[in-house]
């Protein structure tokens, strides 16, 4: 291996482009770069910029604010980025391949160096001049190709698991919306009866709405999978045949308008002191446990050795809500997450910034999570926010939210149908956590030359 400064192998790109010439989905800022090398998400806010830095596919983008968040992305399209994002491009692909430059920037030693050499207290920024002087050991192109191949195979598997989880989540949300927001099976029955069809035909219409199948496909299902057909028919019967008005809201007959505190306890976390020592395999669930837009991250846990109240311990499958929002967390207040199991810890405990919504009946677990993901819930909780720099959720934000409560039978059916979905999501999250460890260890050893 030969040693080279970053300035020898890469350029910091300063070329500008008119912001009006790019699409919003092609714009990258430090806010829509995900921590821990997890790529990017779509920018939700259009910046007030006339120009931005131009980047190309195969460039490495590095968020230069709070570099300990490890926001690094290997670009797979052309676009523009904010001034707080450094665009790095390899100078000579016969010396350093673009993908290997990305691996170098992701290395633990380089990230630690940028943290130590950063300037500023409240908003520390990496020192670009210091970065350019940082030395890397560069292997041959063949060795680089091997390292790239191994690393990106693991990264692709992690991304695939993440995409599958997103699809599974969308399936659960779509089912919830169809049944409990749009009332599709109920409306199908109402429409069929208003058209003069029989009750039996109305039930068939509800079965179509639930399954998405045509009458011919349902007939085929009854012959090929009679048990599945019978289960579908039983589910369709559980939906009412009539819509009525309750407190000015049209709801399925027999369903009630309820508040969350009528079906669940809402428990806030507390501030834990390091002096409350008790040796235990415990981790705190904090704001870092929430993905932007909701969802749970196992890598966001923080080890904890203090005492806590039993009711502040959370368990797999429970709903947690972010009660605070700070700059680092970026748009998580009021967002829900479902706690996933973690074999590394015996206990998970909620911090002061987190609340757990604990239903009196477990059948509400998945229902409440999907409910908390709806736009109406998010709008409701946002109306209870206080503060400017740091936002806080009012104590009544979650318990006062009203929703349409279906029959107990449908709650059981929904829980049964969504349980395999969330079990698969949990397995993929666990697998990704293990793959991240392997990836980080592999990167460290590949860059140090410990393994070929």
Higher pLDDT, 327 or 359: 359
d(CA 263, CA 357): 10
Inform me whether the pLDDT recorded for 3 exceeds 80: yes
pLDDT of residue 444: 79
d(CA 38, CA 335): 20
Inform me whether the pLDDT recorded for 350 exceeds 90: no
Banded pLDDT at 43 (limits 50, 70, 90): confident
Region 2-138: CATH code: 3.90.220.20
pLDDT of residue 328: 41
d(CA 4, CA 167): 43
pLDDT of residue 277: 34
Least confident interval from 21-25, 280-284, 435-439: 280-284
pLDDT of 172-203, one tens digit each?
999 999 999 999 999 999 999 999 999 999 99
Average pLDDT for residues 228-238, to the nearest whole number? 94
Inform me whether the pLDDT recorded for 451 exceeds 60: no
d(CA 398, CA 64): 36
pLDDT of residue 391: 81
Banded pLDDT at 279 (limits 50, 70, 90): very low
Inform me whether the pLDDT recorded for 331 exceeds 90: no
The most confident of the ranges 94-108, 235-249, 291-305 is: 94-108
pLDDT of 55-68, one tens digit each?
999 999 999 999 99
Per the prediction, the chain carries an average pLDDT of: 87
Least confident interval from 155-159, 265-269, 345-349: 345-349
pLDDT of residue 120: 86
Average pLDDT for residues 336-352, to the nearest whole number? 79
* CATH superfamily of the domain spanning 261-405: DNA methylase specificity domains (3.90.220.20)
Helices within 98-176 (DSSP H only): 98-106, 108-116, 128-133, 141-176
Average pLDDT for residues 364-369, to the nearest whole number? 94
Banded pLDDT at 8 (limits 50, 70, 90): very high
Distant-in-sequence, close-in-space partners of 375: CB < 8 Å, separation ≥ 6: none
Least confident interval from 126-135, 274-283, 345-354, 422-431: 274-283
Distant-in-sequence, close-in-space partners of 163: CB < 8 Å, separation ≥ 6: none
| Contact present, 348 and 318 (Cβ < 8 Å) | no
Average pLDDT for residues 393-400, to the nearest whole number? 91
pLDDT of residue 9: 95
Q: Residue 295: helix, strand or coil by DSSP? A: coil
pLDDT of residue 284: 78
| CATH 3.90.220.20 intervals, the chain | 2-138, 261-405
Helices within 195-285 (DSSP H only): 199-211, 215-224, 226-237
Average pLDDT for residues 251-264, to the nearest whole number? 94
* Entry pTM: 0.81
Inform me whether the pLDDT recorded for 333 exceeds 90: no
pLDDT of 70-121, one tens digit each?
999 999 999 999 999 999 999 999 999 999 999 999 998 999 999 999 998 7
pLDDT of residue 37: 87
d(CA 196, CA 389): 59
Inform me whether the pLDDT recorded for 275 exceeds 70: no
């Amino acid at each position: 291996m030969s040693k080279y400064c970053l300035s020898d192998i890469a350029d910091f790109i300063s070329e500008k482009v008119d912001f009006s010439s790019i699409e919003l989905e092609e714009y990258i800022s430090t806010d829509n770069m995900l921590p821990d090398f997890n790529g990017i998400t779509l920018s939700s806010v259009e910046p007030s910029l006339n120009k931005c830095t131009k980047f190309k596919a195969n460039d490495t983008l590095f968020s230069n604010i709070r570099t300990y968040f490890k926001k690094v992305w290997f670009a797979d399209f052309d676009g523009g980025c904010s001034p707080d994002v450094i665009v790095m491009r390899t100078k000579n692909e016969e010396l350093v391949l673009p993908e290997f430059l990305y691996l170098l920037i992701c290395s633990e030693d380089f990230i630690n160096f940028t943290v130590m050499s950063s300037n500023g207290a409240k908003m520390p920024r990496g020192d670009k001049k210091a970065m350019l002087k940082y030395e890397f050991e560069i292997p041959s192109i063949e060795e680089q190709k091997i390292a790239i191949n191994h690393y990106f195979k693991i990264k692709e598997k992690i991304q695939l698991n993440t995409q599958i989880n997103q699809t599974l989540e969308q399936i659960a949300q779509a089912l919830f919306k169809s049944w409990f927001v749009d009332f599709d099976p109920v409306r199908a029955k109402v429409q069929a009866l208003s058209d003069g069809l029989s009750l039996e035909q109305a039930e068939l219409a509800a079965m179509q709405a639930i399954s998405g199948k045509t009458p011919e496909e349902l007939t085929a299902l009854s012959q090929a999978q009679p048990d599945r057909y019978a289960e579908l028919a039983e589910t369709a019967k559980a939906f009412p045949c009539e819509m009525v008005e309750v407190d000015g809201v049209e709801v399925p007959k027999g369903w009630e308008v309820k508040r969350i505190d009528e079906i669940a306890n809402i428990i806030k976390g507390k501030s834990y002191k390091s002096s409350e020592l008790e040796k235990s395999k415990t981790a705190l669930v904090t704001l870092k446990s929430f993905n932007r837009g909701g969802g749970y991250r196992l890598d966001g846990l923080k080890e904890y050795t203090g005492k806590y109240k039993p009711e502040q311990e959370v368990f797999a499958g429970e709903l947690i809500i972010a009660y605070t929002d700070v700059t680092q967390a970026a748009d998580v207040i009021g967002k829900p997450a479902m706690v996933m199991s973690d074999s590394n810890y015996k206990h998970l405990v909620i911090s002061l910034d987190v609340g757990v919504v604990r239903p009196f009946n477990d059948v509400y677990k998945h229902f409440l999570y999907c409910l908390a993901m709806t736009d109406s819930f998010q709008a409701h909780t946002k109306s209870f926010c206080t503060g400017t720099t740091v936002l806080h959720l009012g104590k009544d934000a979650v318990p006062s939210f009203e929703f349409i409560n279906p029959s107990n039978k449908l709650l059981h059916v929904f829980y049964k149908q969504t349980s395999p979905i969330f079990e698969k999501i949990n397995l993929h999250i666990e697998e990704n956590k293990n793959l991240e460890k392997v990836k980080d260890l592999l990167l460290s050893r590949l860059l140090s030359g410990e393994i070929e």
